[in-house]
Structure 1
Amino acid sequence: MRGRRAGVMMGAGHPWDGGPREQGEQVDAGVIDDYVAELGRTLRGPRGLRLDLVAEARDSLLDAAEALEDGGLERAEAERAAVEEFGAVHEIAPGYQEELSVAAGRRLAALLFLAVPLTAVMWTLIWKLFPTAPVAYDARPGWFVPVARAVDVTQMAIGMLGALALLALGRGRRRIRRPWLVARALALFVWAMMPVMLVMCWALMYGSNRPAGFSDYPPGLAASAVSYGFWGLQLYCATRCLSLTRGRPAAA
Structure 2
Amino acid sequence: MVGGPIDAYVASLRGALRGPRGAKADLVREARDSLFDAAEHYEQDGFDRAEAERLAVDEFGDVHELAPDYQRELALAQARRTALLVALAVAAQTIVSEIAWRTAATTWSWQPDRFYTILANTVDYASYVVFAGALLAAATCGIGTRFLVVGRPFAHATGIAAITVVGFFLLGGAVLSLLSPAWHTAVPGATPLDMASAAITAALPAWMVYSGFRCIRAAALPAPA
1:195 to 158, 167, 183: 167
Partner residue, 1:175? 147
Give the equivalent residue in structure 2 for 1:162. 134
Equivalent residues of 2:160, 2:212 under 8 A apart: yes
Cα RMSD after superposing both structures? 1.8
- Who is 1:111 aligned against? 85
What CA distance in whole angstroms lies between the structure 1 residues aligned with 2:49 and 2:6?
11
* TM-aligned CA deviation for residue 132 of structure 1: 4.1
Answer yes or no: is 1:56 the counterpart of 2:30: yes
Q: Does 1:143 align with 2:122?
A: no
TM-score by length of structure 1 reads 0.81
Deviation at 1:103, TM superposition (A): 0.5
Picking from 125, 131, 134, the partner of 1:153 is 125
Q: Which runs of 5+ in 2 are unaligned?
A: none
1:88 maps to: 62
Of structures 1 and 2, the one scoring higher in RCO (CA 8 A, sep 6+) is: 2
Distance, in Å, in 2 between the alignment partners of 1:193 and 1:76 is 53
Cα offset, 1:198, TM superposition: 2.1
TM-score normalised by L of structure 2? 0.90
Aligned-pair CA distance for 1:38: 0.9
Instruction: Select the structure that is richer in helix.
Output: 2
Q: Which secondary structure does the structure 2 equivalent of 1:133 belong to?
A: coil
Moved over 3 A (4+): none
Deviation at 1:200, TM superposition (A): 1.3
- The residue identity in structure 2 corresponding to 1:176 is L
| Residues 29/203 of structure 1: CA separation in 2 closer, same or farther (3 Å cut) | closer
- 1:244 lines up with 2:221 in the alignment: no
What is the aligned-residue identity percentage? 36
CA distance in 2, matches of 1:194, 1:150: 15
Alignment equivalent of 1:47, drawn from 21, 25, 37? 21
Partners of 1:80 and 1:214 lie apart in 2 by: 73
Q: Secondary structure at the match of 1:143?
A: helix
Which amino acid is the alignment partner of residue 100 of structure 2? I
Equivalent pairs counted in the alignment come to: 220
Q: Report the equivalent of 2:6.
A: 32
State the Cα deviation string for residues 79-137 of structure 1 (Å, max 9, x = none): 111000000111111111111111000000110121111210111011112364232x2
Deviations 1:141-162 (A, max 9, x none): 4322222222111112111111
Paired residues of 2:82 and 2:162 also in contact (CA < 8 A): no
**Whole-Å Cα distance in 1 between the matches of residues 128 and 201 of structure 2?**
15
